[in-house]
Structure 1
């Protein structure tokens, strides 16, 4: 039995534990059902998520030309403070940018490898936290556009990290932190533009990942280089598949790659 399709980030369902689905054009895999089973993954070809051509993937599932042209890969995606749609200024496609930027956004604290600050669209809560492998998270502010969220994140990341240590996250090397105390400590640093949007009296969200064994020394799988890999699936966390031999595979980092997955 096998499945074949182009990789995109796994869809998730916020249950306990979290359910993971890899969705292909005409089929899907519920990876939770494959836990403790041996699977083989083979590289087939590239397929850019924009143009669909078999060209090497540059970043975010796009070939190099598409990456520098499509609005989904513009600078404001990774750096929200660069958003300009609220000013009516186009970067690549103003209609797309208005739809993406001019909607409610959340600035949050999450604890995956350490406490970090981040930004996401409101409709991506708690999906964003799941994708980062956070075991707990809390919302700080809810603002009307991406720009205000971005400048809030910039103000706070001088005092708290905005990065996740993926190895530490995958080892489940959890630091015991009180996010409520962190939130209260950071309130005074929130810029004036966002002060009216501070969320009061909310509680932490806890997340439970389907993992039976965490890797002590995670080794990242490069499926293009190796062409094929076989291993026993023992967990899923963030957007990573965790295997018994401590190999880990980041599905999201391999978007735009066509693979064949066989269940042995």
Structure 2
């Protein structure tokens, strides 16, 4: 079978194990069904996810122009503490920013390598945790806007990592930590204006199981622009990565906006 289209991050279903899907314009592919099978990936070109033009991808699935103009990739995406919609202040498009920023957000602890702190919209639970390859995660606070989540994350960054060690995540080198006990330490660390939103529910840990037959001992990242045609046996899927038998890993998220052909 041949599948062709523009890569976007894999869609997921929270099952045991996690189910992964690549969605193309005219069809879709359940990646779990390809485990232990040879697949071939060929790079064909680019298509900006924002404007749809066949322009070289710069970052986050966008061409250079869209990356610096589209409201969906403003600085507040990566740095929630820069959110200003709650003040009625526009960054690029206030209507878009109000829609995204002025909704419930979760600050969480997750285990994908060591304990990390992060922010996500409530509607993205547990998708966000699956996308980063977390084996466990739980909410610390639920707040009504992105700004409050951002300042909470900034306060907790002094005590926890805010990025996943992707190599350890892919090699399944995950610290064993009781997240509920960890959360109990946080009450005095979060900002005063967020104290009222502190979560103390007892058994709300999400546990994620990934479809991985074999974790790699050594890791080699597939770069589609250097290796425009790759063939390998799929041994696992974790986070937004495909893991192949020879230790090659392919980060789908990094290649959003790339047009590919996949043969299975």
Whether the TM-score (by the shorter chain) exceeds 0.5 is: yes
How much does 1:89 deviate? 0.3
Q: Residue 201 of structure 1 aligns to a residue in which SS?
A: coil
Residue number in structure 1 paired with 2:253: 252
Distance in structure 2 (CA, Å) of the matches to 1:216 and 1:193:
45
Residue number in structure 2 paired with 1:118: 118
Residue number in structure 2 paired with 1:71: 71
Distance in structure 2 (CA, Å) of the matches to 1:175 and 1:88:
42
TM (norm. structure 2) is 0.99
Q: For structure 1, which segment, 177-186 or 127-136, has the greater mean C-alpha deviation from structure 2 after superposition?
A: 177-186
How much does 1:201 deviate? 2.1
Gap runs ≥5 in structure 2: none
Residue number in structure 1 paired with 2:96: 96
Distance in structure 2 (CA, Å) of the matches to 1:220 and 1:12:
22
- 1:122-158 deviations in Å (ceiling 9; x for gaps): 0000000000000000100000000000000000011
Q: For structure 1, which segment, 181-190 or 71-80, has the greater mean C-alpha deviation from structure 2 after superposition?
A: 181-190
Superposed counterparts of 1:77-88, under 5 Å: 77-88=77-88
1:207 is aligned to 2:208? yes
CA RMSD, Structure 1 to Structure 2 (Å): 0.6
Q: Residue 235 of structure 1 aligns to a residue in which SS?
A: strand
Aligned pair count? 263
How much does 1:194 deviate? 0.8
Residue number in structure 1 paired with 2:240: 239
Stretches of 4+ moved more than 2 A in 1?
Answer: none
TM (norm. structure 1) is 0.99
Q: Residue 107 of structure 1 aligns to a residue in which SS?
A: strand
